[in-house]
Amino acid sequence: MEMRQRLLELVRAHTTHMSVVLSSGRSSNVYVDCRMITLHPEGALLSARALLGLLDATGWRADAIGGPTLGADPICGALAVVSQLQGRPIPTFIVRKERKAHGRGRQIEGPIPEGAQVVLVDDVATTGGSLLKAARALREEGHTVVGAMVLVDRGEGALEALEEEGIPLRSVFSLQDIV
């Protein structure tokens, strides 16, 4: 079975039709639980391969890839390992919701080079709020955000919100692919 098709099967298997409140604050009758995929060995591998393939298709140059905690956390780990296994290691990073009040006081964690060209990644995009917040933190630290990638774009404004900030968004799947 083709990799993308198997990943779609996993996404569909972890999509629930029930009333939920999303992280954006919006209500929905469809919940895509990508963490059940990205925290599973097969799902993590397939997700990383799909996202690296998407990165190749965009032509974006990425010195590092990362995104907002918590959705991006398992994706970043998988991307770091799979990119290394593919012979093209790409450092990854996580953007905290807020700067730490202790330790080094960082908001961005990971081996990200100074002034890096970065690509954002997340599991699901709805309004794009989490990705935009991460993009602002990265820009404040002197990095250039060249694009954003997600496993699933719900089609509820993230594409437009990110493009308004000069950040193109690409997704492996749309919500229509899943339901």
Residues at the binding site for orotate are 126, 154
Contacts of residue 79, Cβ cutoff 8 Å, sequence gap at least 6: 48, 51, 52, 65, 90, 92, 121
Q: Are 48 and 78 in contact (CB under 8 A)?
A: yes
Which residues, in sequence order, are bridge partners of residue 64?
A: 118
Query: In whole angstroms, what is the distance from residue 79 CA to residue 38 CA?
Result: 11
Query: In whole angstroms, what is the distance from residue 79 CA to residue 14 CA?
Result: 21
Query: In whole angstroms, what is the distance from residue 37 CA to residue 47 CA?
Result: 8
DSSP secondary structure of 20-67: EE-TTS-EEEEEE-THHHHTSHHHHHHHHHHHHHHHHHHT---SEEEE
Residue list, annotated binding site: 96-97, 100, 102, 122-130, 154
Residue 169's H or E segment, with its range, is: strand 169-174
Residue list, annotated binding site for 5-phospho-alpha-D-ribose 1-diphosphate: 96-97, 100, 102, 122-130
